[in-house]
Chains A and B, each alone.
Chain A
Amino acid sequence: MPVSVSSSKLIYDCLKDGGVRIISALPETWLVHLIRMADEDRDMTLVRLAKEEEGVGISAGAHLAGVKSAMLMQNHGFLASINGIVSCAQLYRIPLLMLISHRGEFGERDPWQTEGGGVTEHVLDALRIPHTRLESPDHVGRRIQKAQTLANSASRPVALLLCRDLMWEEPV
């Protein structure tokens, strides 16, 4: 499976360095290494969800209890979480660090992923959620750190889009 181990490690280490101690996740191909790293790390609590929206509640509880968290999901998981994002995180000014695997862009071969990719950034804009794209390894460290800083200073959700060129190593 050509999911980038080195990019996954870079992202994971950055989350860890940023103080993240709870990660909620639902499996998705591009996230397999990140989820495995969280599972194997004794200092990290990995919460495996049934549906991504639960992760909003987990992160809100963790934040109020003083623990930093991050959410790993596919863009369809983000779309499935919107009510929780609006009526819990935005209503109550909860910082969420959402890492969204951004399927469905150029190069996507799975037909079922293609609609979600087209609407994700528009929906983030409509929700006024600041977001940026991680497309290469040199984006990872600074952009994750800056996203976390803004989430905390604004007390609002932010999103990082994990893009194909960062996460997938299959030759074109």
Chain B
Amino acid sequence: MRRLDALKLLYPDLANRVVVTIMGAVAAELQSIGHRSNFFYLQHAMGLASSLGLGIALSRPELSVVVFDGDGSVLMNLGGLTTLARYRPRNLVHVVFDNESLLSVGGFPTATSTGSDLAAIAAAAGVPRTATVRTLDELRTEFDAAVASRELTTIVAKVEAVGPAGYVTDLSLLENRYQFQRYLKGPQSS
């Protein structure tokens, strides 16, 4: 499975959800499909996308939050999984794209390439629903099940270690930040 195809598969489901992504390939690929004002790309602070999503989910229980995370980022904030699990917001779906490498910086293999299992780690941290998916069909099934369950779910999507040619887009960081905040203030988010 390619991450870009996975994002294209879920893209129609994101129209009315609040989306937080990590930096690098995930942010660039989602923007290549089509930026929306309800998407926020945390273009640094590796590990904190799930914490930021948790902050939104706890602040606004009426919103549906989707976090697109990565193996490298999750590994930098494994403790964050225990905090997510502790508060287990029912309005958050945590999708981790696991390409077993730090692709954006040259493909350095992460610990998931040598056997660390992020879905098992999330489950052991106390996340009530977890799954590992390897195909688009499995991703479709598990994402729909996660949304329907109304329980915190971590879906680890195993993807190929391929990405876009570049990561810088013409959307400035602060433009994205203020547009996203305005979306959350506006009537479309409630």
A residues in contact (CB < 8 Å) with B: 22, 45, 47-51, 53-67, 69, 83-84, 87-88, 91-93
Contacts and interface: CB of A to CB of B under 8 A. Distances in A.
Nearest to B44: A87
B149 to A, nearest CB: 22
Nearest to A49: B83
A22 B52 contact: no
Contacts of A60: 48, 52, 55
B56 A87 contact: no
B174 A92 contact: yes
B119 interface: no
B68 interface: no
Contacts of B110: none
Given A57-B52, A65-B56, 4 more contacts: A47-B83, A57-B48, A61-B56, A66-B59
Given A47-B87, A50-B79, A93-B177, A88 B59 contact: no
A84 B58 contact: no
Interface of B is mostly: helix
For the complex of A and B, the 7 pairs showing the least CB-CB separation, nearest first, are A61-B55, A57-B51, A50-B79, A57-B48, A87-B44, A88-B45, A65-B59
B45 A84 contact: yes
A45 B184 CA distance: 20
Interface residues of B, number: 36
B74 interface: no
Contacts of A93: 174, 177
Residue among A57, A87, A92 facing the most chain B CB atoms (10 A cut-off): A57
B101 to A, nearest CB: 21
Contacts of B40: 64
A47 B80 contact: no
B54 A61 contact: yes
B181 interface: yes
28 contacts: A22-B55, A45-B58, A47-B58, A47-B83, A50-B83, A51-B77, A51-B80, A54-B51, A54-B79, A56-B51, A57-B45, A57-B50, A57-B55, A58-B51, A58-B58, A61-B52, A61-B54, A61-B57, A64-B52, A64-B177, A65-B55, A66-B185, A69-B55, A83-B45, A88-B48, A91-B44, A92-B42, A93-B174
